[in-house]
Amino acid sequence: MGRIYWYCWPCILLAFGVLLLHWVLQVFHSRRFRKQAAQVPVTEMPIFVIGLWRSGTSLLHELMTLDPRHAAPTSYECFCPLHFLVTGPIIQRLIAMQPKRGRPMDDMKIGPDSPQEDEFALFLKGVPSPYESLVFPNDPCPNPHILDVRKFHADDLARWKAALLEFVQQVQSVHRRRLVLKSPTHTARIEVLAEMFPGARFLYIIRNPYDLFSSNRKLIRSLVPIFTLEKASLANVDATIFENYRLMHEQVEAARLLLPPGHFHQLRFEDLVKDPHGEMQKVYECLELGGFEAVRPGMEKYFAERADHKVGNYQLSAEERATVRQHWGHILYQHAYE
């Protein structure tokens, strides 16, 4: 209790009232829909968009959902995972009235019906999640076990798997299409996800590590003030960024060797921005998704509507670049960024 900063208490008290409403809706949701949704088969295994935060996963997620054969969990479904089957039909009527707003880290426009990362749903379902660090960011660099679910206690791993499967089935019951799931945290979970969803595809996007470091630093500094319950010092930001990417890189390199051909594809953010149609065609070919030509017109329209969007230009000092090389030098050379 002593850690919680005084200015957070009004929000906490308000949250208790909102929590009561969520609890009532959850009870009705569980009685009305839980068994029904659990019977929905996941006939087509999901496509997982993975990569470190700020590597271009959101852009890639949106591009994949331009395909009418694909669907993704919406922001509303991810932020209200305990009752969206009940409240979703009502909220859908209001969504059309709400303008999309720019994200705090890059001004990318999102709304309640935009594709969203399912890690938020898992976090709000109460299973272990790295996003706990947003609430208390002054803790030391997070234990890597929080990313590597294979190292969870058996009970925690079972709860985590059950929460993800339940959410996937419930979203599937709404959209009835192949799901495209995106969460940077899944980058360290390929082995477990492949076991849970045999035949799943993994689409891994990488980006210049120097830009990744700068952009992740900006991301954390923009999100922590929104979610934190303590007076954040942000002293552990850089250490957390370096450790997370190191672990994710190791997990990807090991897990990709376990996947059959056509189930994993890697692309560069810089190539996607430069030639989106060419890179997306490679994605469809390498992952054996088929039907790219039918999706091309939608992608052309998507980029035409966003022609004025600027990719962030990040500048690091010579000392900061040397620190990045010290931690991620092997990644820089492996991916030919240096």
Q: What is the mean pLDDT of residues 75-80?
A: 89
pTM: 0.86
More confident residue, 20 or 178: 178
Percent pLDDT > 70 in the chain is 77
Largest CA distance in the chain: 59
- 180/48 Cα distance (integer angstroms): 6
**Beta-carbon count within 10 A of 33 CB:** 16
More confident residue, 111 or 46: 46
Edge-to-edge strand ranges of the sheet holding 264-268: 70-71, 178-182, 47-50, 201-206, 264-268
Chain segment 270-294, per-residue pLDDT in tens: 999 999 999 999 999 999 999 999 9
Looking at residue 1, its pLDDT comes to 41
Looking at residue 99, its pLDDT comes to 59
Contacts by 306-315 with C-beta closer than 8 Å and gap 24+? Answer: 309/108, 311/273, 312/106, 312/211, 312/214, 312/215, 312/218, 314/210, 314/211, 314/214, 314/215, 315/214
- 310/121 Cα distance (integer angstroms): 30
Greatest mean pLDDT among 96-105, 240-249, 310-319 lies in: 240-249
Cβ distance 253 to 204 under 8 Å?
no
Q: What is the mean pLDDT of residues 231-251?
A: 86
Greatest mean pLDDT among 74-83, 93-102, 156-165, 307-316 lies in: 156-165
Chain segment 4-37, per-residue pLDDT in tens: 665 565 666 666 666 666 666 666 666 666 666 6
Looking at residue 237, its pLDDT comes to 85
**Beta-carbon count within 10 A of 102 CB:** 10
Looking at residue 338, its pLDDT comes to 80
**Range from 25-34, 85-94, 107-116, 141-150 carrying the lowest mean pLDDT:** 25-34
Looking at residue 13, its pLDDT comes to 62
Enumerate domains of the chain plus CATH numbers. Answer: 6-307 (3.40.50.300)
